[in-house]
Structure 1
Amino acid sequence: MTPPLLDATEVPWAGPSASSWTSGDEERAWQGAAEQLAVMDRVVRPDPAERFSGVGELAAAWRRSLS
């Protein structure tokens, strides 16, 4: 039997935008580079056409954000 898919309320990082990671208490504030935040912001965009086309594209963008 296949487990049910999680909805956005069950996934802590599936918020309306990555900018919400920079608000709140200090422990929860984004601590990565601005380039990494831009990648994560694209991951959670509401319009699927604005997200990465696949894991390969996401991985490449993340690697670029690290340099």
Structure 2
Amino acid sequence: RVFDVLVEGQLAIPALDLALEAGTYTAVSRQYTVKVSDGQLNVRFATRQGATLVNGVRVSERPDKALP
């Protein structure tokens, strides 16, 4: 499974291959800060090879609500 991760219309992670990166049955954690201007966070997984599979996504608001 290889896929791109797009957040707010921008390519955040190109050609993500978790099996190659971390192995099978292994949790992977990534952290990103993005600005949402329309009140709705848009995340899209675009398949490159195989079927995209994501088991969980955690979204949280920054306490200071400001981007660095």
Structure 2 length normalisation: TM-score? 0.24
Structure of higher RCO (CA pairs closer than 8 Å, 6+ residues apart): 2
TM-score (ref. length: structure 1): 0.24
